[in-house]
Amino acid sequence: MLELSRDAMERLGRTVMEQLISHRTGIRDKAAGRVLSRKEADSLLAEPLPLDGTDPEALVGRLEREVFSNISHVDHPRFFAFVPGPGNFVATMGAALAAGHNVFAGTWLGGSGAARLEQTVIDWLKEAVGYPWGGGGLFVSGGSMANLTALGAARHAKLGSHDARGIVYFSDQTHSAVERALRVLGMPESHMRRIPADPSFGLDVDHLAGLVRSDREAGLTPFCVVANAGTTNTGAVDPLNAIAELCETEGLWFHVDGAYGAAAVFGRRATEKLQGLSRADSIALDPHKWLFQPFECGCLLVRDSVALRSAYAIHPEYMVDTRLEDEEINYCEYGVQLSRSFRALSLWLTLKTFGAGAMGEAIDHAFEMADHAEAVLSGMPGWAVVTRPSMAILTFRFVDGPEESLDTWNAAMVRQLRESGVAMVSSTLLDGAYVIRLCPTNPRTTREDIEVTLDALAQSARDAGYCL
């Protein structure tokens, strides 16, 4: 029951592998993305529960036609929206191996080899960010879970029995995952201090220090500051060293949301910006972004692994068999999940195959592409760079027209580009104005890809008669 013959498994495996290789080698010729309407999606995929089976090879073909052709290809070399997930084929094979062997990575008893390999990869990441020997961490699903896990540990370490007076601080450019995590932890909005960003869209440390003082004077308990190592809006990096100094003086937990930007420690271009990262108590880092892993592959690093275990280790009677006599690591004691997949395998395989140096070169390439985009935009009449490239993100805007129409025109161009399939960019609001974001973190992106994308935006402006 629920088995295929060896021949059928081999045929299905070949079919899947051929589809994956064709996708990888032919992605440049595909649309950067296609979005179905709900009506279109229902007509293709809504169906009753099947009572009888179907040939799985035929199902793989159907998936290619009806599902995988109707997604945003975040690994496309002209996908510049949000923060792309470029992936790499070696990591894909790692994910397949982890799934195929059905590895349970929650306890040492369930996967001692997997746990030890995860520790090895965590050690590599600790070395990259400059963490000490006593540091630790674990793999999670992404930045949302990494931030949640870190903030839970911070509250436990600094507030003990969930002191209701605890206050946390972050800039108004911080990712929504942080606020969501605080909500999950039961923190009221009145205890979240959103600090208006400075003119460079970083955290204003003087304002932060003043708030900490006033909250203490009001009888509250400041316990955590969340800084950004690459905001989603503009790629801004908060002044990490200055924040670290304040946190050390005030006895606050210093957490850095570096979901995409912290990985730039592998390259050369962000060395100065990321000074102070190693002083953080915890760092959220998403390998499925700038370390080219498949989704879902997030990571949390901590300076002191005891803080994680203290916050999350629980020993019910039905887990007694997992308590061995050696120095084993049960990763279920360091975070929220008991059932965990073997996410570390893909990154281990990638780093062993290509080396950290190649990863750094791929990251630095993104900085070069963002710089090239800025240079191209500077020669395009009617367009203006709003924020210069920071951590390979830049924002810009069409400005050749009546001020009251510009937001609508820019939004229309983003939509038209997406619908054309040529490329995908995203947008955001900065100081109340609509701007276009470009995030070229895919190492397969070329200068021509940048030029084609910007030319397509300019052409849509000309076609619509926006240029006056």
Q: How confident is the model at residue 162 (pLDDT cuts 50, 70, 90)?
A: low
Across the range 409-413, mean pLDDT stands at: 96
121 within some domain: yes
Q: How confident is the model at residue 201 (pLDDT cuts 50, 70, 90)?
A: very high
- Model pTM above 0.85: yes
Cα dihedral 18, 19, 20, 25, rounded to 10, equals 80
pLDDT for 177: 98
Q: Look up tokens 């280790």; give the residue.
A: 313
Q: Which amino acid is at 208?
A: L
| Domain CATH code at residue 279 | 3.40.640.10
Across the range 428-439, mean pLDDT stands at: 97
Please enumerate in sequence order all residues whose Cβ is within 8 A of that of 297, keeping only pairs 6 or more positions apart, or say none: 139, 142, 286, 287, 288, 291, 343, 346, 347
Q: Look up tokens 């999950």; give the residue.
A: 184
The tens digit of pLDDT for each residue in 323-347 reads: 877 778 999 999 999 999 999 999 9
Helix (H, G, I), strand (E, B) or coil at 449: helix
Is there a contact between 426 and 232 (Cβ–Cβ < 8 Å)?
no
Could you tell me which residue, 215 or 466, shows the higher pLDDT? 215
DSSP secondary structure letter of residue 438? E
427 within some domain: no
Report the alpha-carbon distance of residue 173 to residue 154 in Å, rounded: 21
170 within some domain: yes
The tens digit of pLDDT for each residue in 169-198 reads: 999 999 999 999 999 999 999 999 999 999
78 within some domain: no
Across the range 151-170, mean pLDDT stands at: 91
Report the alpha-carbon distance of residue 364 to residue 429 in Å, rounded: 27
pLDDT for 467: 66
337 within some domain: yes
Which residues constitute the domain of residue 195?
104-341
26 within some domain: no
Across the range 94-120, mean pLDDT stands at: 97
Q: Please say if the pLDDT value at position 210 is more than 70.
A: yes
For 24, 26, 55, 102, 118, the CA distances from 17, given in Å and listed in that order, are: 11, 14, 17, 19, 26
First to last CA, the chain: 69
98 within some domain: no
Is there a contact between 139 and 103 (Cβ–Cβ < 8 Å)?
no
261 within some domain: yes
Q: Look up tokens 């304040």; give the residue.
A: 246
Report the alpha-carbon distance of residue 283 to residue 137 in Å, rounded: 9
pLDDT for 323: 81
Per the structure, how many domains does the chain have?
A: 1
Whether omega for the bond prior to residue 296 falls within 30 degrees of 0, making it cis, is yes
Across the range 163-168, mean pLDDT stands at: 88
How far from the centroid of its chain's Cα atoms is residue 426's Cα? 16
Report the alpha-carbon distance of residue 319 to residue 313 in Å, rounded: 11
Lowest-pLDDT choice from 120-124, 183-187, 372-376, 464-468: 464-468
Q: Please say if the pLDDT value at position 468 is more than 70.
A: no
Burial class from Cβ neighbours inside 10 Å (0-12, 13-18, 19+) for residue 310 reads middle
To the nearest 10 degrees (0 to 180), the angle between helices 403-420 and 447-463 is 120
pLDDT for 327: 78
The tens digit of pLDDT for each residue in 236-281 reads: 999 999 999 999 999 999 999 999 999 999 999 999 999 999 999 9
